Amino acid sequence: MNRLTIILIAILPLLFASCMDTREELEIRKDGAGTLVVKTDLSKMLEMMKSFAGPEDLQKQGLDKAIDTTMLMKDYVDTAKTVSAENKKLLRDGKVHLIMNVKEGIGKFDLLLPFSSTSQLQDLYASLSNSTGGLKNMLSGMDKGKQMGGGDASAGDNANDNSMPQITSVYDIKVKDGLYSRKVNMDRYQQFKQVMKLDELKQMSGMLGKMNYTLSVKLPGAIKKISNSKAVLSDDKKTVTLNADLMETFEHPELLALEIEY
């Protein structure tokens, strides 16, 4: 098993718990195509890791050397046994840029996913939020397969998937006819609350410090109306930025709810 796979195994549970500083950047062009970029800052997690792990422990986990690499999703999608054909099509043109230097406390995990239409964007969000069919299942399935010597990683996926859901899973996102809508789905939020252990997360937050979630939405036309009073409009009136404390958002998901008319 190569060093990159070992690193992915080490950090994926934390990445998909959405419990680190995260920036979500969405750009929609006039033809409905665009890009979704999710940038996760691993620096605080790496600093905490250094306080618990010595040089020998880091070496065993393959974390003793700096890494700066770009992974193309198509290199993994075609052989992923845990992802449907529909989700493979959504994810295969994406890429991941990973920077890690534990000694220097520097870590970044940037995910870029292009889409060709607003309907595909909505499917993409649904895939990312789906613990059994999206990006998480593809990467974790890849790692499981390599750990088992290349066997079929699809067996028992749900039983082995013990990571926490993403905060994005509680929102219904729709883009249509000059409207961007990000609303809380209360049924999914109740499921989210049942799985999340907020007291434990608050303890982690105490060690890592304040964690933020920033949402940036760039639209093809001038923005006419914004529902969230905390959102900031750019000078050209085409980009909205919304920032919220992540722990507060876990308890009050409406902090990242947003409706934009443009």
Q: Letter for the amino acid at 234?
A: S
CB 249 within 8 A of CB 256: yes
- Calculate ∠ Cα 16-87-107, nearest 5°: 30
pLDDT tens digits for the chain (262 residues)?
455 555 555 555 555 555 688 999 999 999 999 999 999 998 887 777 777 777 777 777 677 788 899 989 888 887 777 778 888 888 889 998 999 888 888 889 999 999 999 999 999 888 776 644 455 555 554 444 443 333 343 333 333 444 556 788 899 999 988 999 999 999 988 888 877 776 666 666 666 567 899 999 999 999 999 999 999 999 999 999 999 998 899 889 999 999 999 9
Sheet holding 225-226, edge to edge: 171-176, 179-184, 258-261, 225-226
Q: Is the pTM of this model over 0.75?
A: yes
Q: Domain segments of the chain: what residues?
A: 3-261
